[in-house]
Structure formats: structure tokens, C-alpha cells
Structure 1
Amino acid sequence: MRRLRDMLRAAVHGEQFRDGILPSEAELMSAHGLSRATVREALALLRNEGLIERTQGIGTQAIVHSVSTAWAEAHGAAEPAKDSMFNRRMRPRMIDRSIVTVPTTVAGRLQVPAGTPCLRLEYVALVEEEAMALATNYVLFPEAAKLRDAPFVSDWYAFMAEAGVELSETEFVFGCELADAPLATVLGVREGAPLISMEQLIYDRDGRPFDLAFIHTCGERFRFVSRVFKELS
């Protein structure tokens, strides 16, 4: 049941089913040599994850359209591919854009005294009008001065580049969480939905951290793709 669930989940995220319609229970039983009860258990797990819905007379249909991005693009270290979400496919829905003092935890990560002024910029990242992530950025000056009133119409890296803010290094720390009620409301997901939690630090060319972001990404809608080549002797 677990293995079938994993294969079907991968196929749903990879949009491998024509018109989003999954094979029937009988077809899955025949293809995988499983009982009807096992197939139904696997489908029930996917339904509980919010990936599919089952309708009498129609069948089982995928209801999630996931977005994939290359790892280097997520770091802002590579030119985005033509179909990448970082190639003008994303737009922000602004929640907050104000000058505040740096909270103690943020100050430690940015290596400045607590109470230092910064720009807090919080937004929901939308792709094809569907919420992908909630991001709260704390940006130090002088970079904050360039971003405070700059037009923000696409992704974060394009926003910085167009405002004249350079980055030289980015760092991510990943975790997992379940959507609480406030996050579920903002992201348009059910309470308890799986989220990818990220903390991102962005550094300038002198190695100084100037931007710390707390990011909550919809685990059902977003996937990272990473490929690394090993140098052979």
C-alpha cells in the first residue's frame, strides 16, 4: 500500500495521468498485483493529503498541479529555465512592507544588535494565481533603502536585481511542518496540510548577511529538483 501510494503520488506530481484522471481500481489492482482493499487504502492516503478527489461516475482525479524548480534557481545562482517559476511566472501578493526593528532571533542570524532598523517585507508567492509560499523577509540597510519603495512584480531575485541589490551567496535551512489555522488561511490549504519550512540567508559580496527570510511552502504544490555531477578521476 505504501509503495503504491508513493508511485501514484510521484505520477500525480509529474502530471503523468491524461486529463488528471487516475487508473481505475481494477486497473491498479491488475497492474500492481494488489487487492482492492490495498488499492483503496493507498488512494485514501492520497485523498487525505489533498492530492486527489474521488467522484462517483467520474473516477479518481488529481486536484493538485505542482510546480518544480531547479535547486540552483531556488538559490538565485542560475538563470531560470524558460518554464521556471522564476522566469516571470510568479507574482507577489503583498501583506506587509514596513520599517521595523530587528527581533532578537533575527538579529543573531544577521549578526547585528537587536533593535537595528530593517525592512520587513511579507508576501504570498502566487503562480498562476495559486498560493505557493508565504515569505517574511527582514532586510538590513543599505539594501532595505533600495527595496523599500521599489516595484515588486515578480520573484524575490528579480525584485532585488531590478532594485540594484546584489547577492553573492545564499543559504537554506529546511524543515517540515503542518499548516496551522493562520497559515492554512493565508495559503488556501487545509489545516494540517504538509508544508516545507525554510530559513534563507542572503549575503552580499563581502560575505555580510543582509536578508533573513522565513518561508512556508506548500508541500503539495512545490518540489525542488537537484542534480549534482561527481567529477570522475
Structure 2
Amino acid sequence: MRDEQSPGRERQPLSRAERARRIADTLRQRITSGLYEDGMLPDERALGHVLGTTRNTVREALGLLSDEGLITRRRGIGTQIVTAKYGHGLDRLTGLAETLVGYGPVTNTVRAARVVPHAPKAVTERLHLPDGSDAVYLERLRGLDGRPLSVDSTWLAPDIGRPLLDCDLAHRDVFTLIEETTGSRLGSAEVTVHAVTAEPDTARLLGIPTGAALFVIDRLTRLADGRPVDSESLRVRADRFALHTLLHRGAVPPRTA
């Protein structure tokens, strides 16, 4: 059954643009789930059959995905996925490098690793440090499979961060190093994800146009005893990255008057 109408009470016909957008959303989900392992999409006729729509709608949807940079279309070759997106689960506390194991070689270019005297008040407040306390700042440019993926900025409590300055920050994950040097397990993290556009400096580092889409993942990580020790912002290329989780629906709380 072709999706030519909305399910609203008046069931007004969908516009051509709306149909293309819906099909583009479905195709994006199929691509990011890894359905097309060979990196090639079926032809328009086959996609139309699977998705229950016309070739014209498929063609317009593919144009939207091409504009996003997710696919490229070449006469005589077909529709090819430009870059499969790498997934980061939100249901377990892991570092980005831990998540990317198996996707390809991960590299870290250390751009800053130092103790900052009298860290900004916003940092000391977030890490529950005394006003005017020192903090350790790390900045790394992370690459995956030979291409830049993210710029990671991290603030650490001084007693947590100082030992890390003598560690191999170019090849080791910060979460693993914290657990090794402290002898304590990390316990939990508060995560907020923002959609932003790349300003010129980040765009230069990541090799993308100014104004390109980014995820900013703000994360405050705590030890198992609840103490906040790691405050970071990861600026990640949205064209190479997807966030996913598995959610379970519990009992719905009763409504209050």
C-alpha cells in the first residue's frame, strides 16, 4: 500500500516533498543500521517496491540523502554509501575509543595536556572543586580509519588528571586510564547531546565545511562513589556518527491533577 496520504482525520494527500522526506528517513535508518553491507543501494525500482512508493519519490529521497553527504550517485555504477555512520550506544558508559573498537584504526592527536591554574569557575563548579582550584585540561583530535572524526575537550579534577599527563594519551582511552591510575571504577555519567554547526576552527580540524552539522556530546562522568571527576565536550562529525540506545518502557506514572 503506497503512503500517499496522512493518517489524520481528514486524510489530506501528502505533498511530493513530504513523501520524499519520509522515504529519505526510512532509507537513512536502513543505511545506518548496516543493512547494505556491500555499500551499495538497490536500484530505484527495487527500492520503490520495498518501500511501497514510486520511482520518482525514491529518486527525490535519494537526492536528499545525497545532499546530506550520505550517498553518492554515479551513472553506470549506481547509488553508493559514501561513509557508513559509526554507532555510539547511550546505554552503557564507555569512552569513544572503546565504542569504536572494530570499526578501524583509532588515532588520537594530543593538542593540549596541561595543568590549568585557577581553572574557570564553571569548571570548578561542575567538578565540585574549590573556587580557584587547578584542573587538568586535555584536548585531542580523534581520527578513525584515517579520517578525522571528533575534537574532544576534557577537564579533570587535579588529583585525577595529573597522573594521566604521564600516560600514553595518544593511544589509550581516558576512561581506562582513570580506572587504572585511581584503582577505582567509574560509576555513571550525565550525558546531553546537542545539534550544532561547525565554526571555522572546528571545521578546519575535522576537514569539513564551516556550518556543517555536528553532534556535541556533553558528559559529566563520576566515580562509583558519585564524585564528579571528568567533564568533557565531544564535537563529532554528524555525517560519520550516529547515537543509539535500547529503551525499555516501565510502568507509566499516574497523572496528577
For normalisation by structure 2, the TM-score amounts to 0.76
The separation in 2 between residues aligned to 1:130 and 1:195, in whole angstroms, is: 15
Q: 2:134 aligns with which of 85, 100, 117?
A: 117
CA deviations 1:31-62 (Å, max 9, x no partner) are: 44434442232112111211011122212110
Distance 1:171 1:32, change over 3 A: closer
Q: Which amino acid aligns with 2:80?
A: Q
Distance 1:129 1:3, change over 3 A: same
- SS of 1:119 mapped into structure 2: strand
The 5-angstrom pairing of residues 1-233 of structure 1 reads: 1-73=20-92, 75-76=93-94, 84-85=99-100, 90-101=106-117, 102-152=119-169, 153-164=171-182, 166=184, 167-229=186-248
Distance 1:31 1:72, change over 3 A: closer
186-195 or 1-10, which deviates more: 186-195
Q: Which amino acid aligns with 1:147?
A: L
Preserved CA contact (<8 Å) 1:136 1:215: yes
The separation in 2 between residues aligned to 1:190 and 1:61, in whole angstroms, is: 22
101-110 or 54-63, which deviates more: 101-110
CA deviations 1:177-230 (Å, max 9, x no partner) are: 122222222223333332211211122344222221011122222223322445
Preserved CA contact (<8 Å) 2:91 2:246: no
Cα distance, 1:231 vs structure 2: 6.6
Let me know the Cα RMSD of the aligned residues. 2.7
- SS of 2:233 mapped into structure 1: strand
The separation in 1 between residues aligned to 2:101 and 2:90, in whole angstroms, is: 11
CA deviations 1:75-126 (Å, max 9, x no partner) are: 239xx6xxx4257964322111122132232223223345421111001223
Preserved CA contact (<8 Å) 2:134 2:158: yes
Q: Which amino acid aligns with 1:85?
A: L
- SS of 1:158 mapped into structure 2: helix
CA deviations 1:102-151 (Å, max 9, x no partner) are: 22322232233454211110012233233332110011111112111111
Q: Which amino acid aligns with 1:150?
A: C
User: What are the ranges of 5 or more consecutive residues in structure 1 without an aligned counterpart?
Assistant: none
Preserved CA contact (<8 Å) 1:69 1:223: yes
Q: Which amino acid aligns with 1:210?
A: V
160-169 or 215-224, which deviates more: 160-169
The separation in 2 between residues aligned to 1:147 and 1:193, in whole angstroms, is: 33
The separation in 1 between residues aligned to 2:236 and 2:183, in whole angstroms, is: 24
Larger Rg: 2
Aligned residues: 226
The separation in 1 between residues aligned to 2:45 and 2:248, in whole angstroms, is: 41
For normalisation by structure 1, the TM-score amounts to 0.83
- SS of 1:4 mapped into structure 2: helix
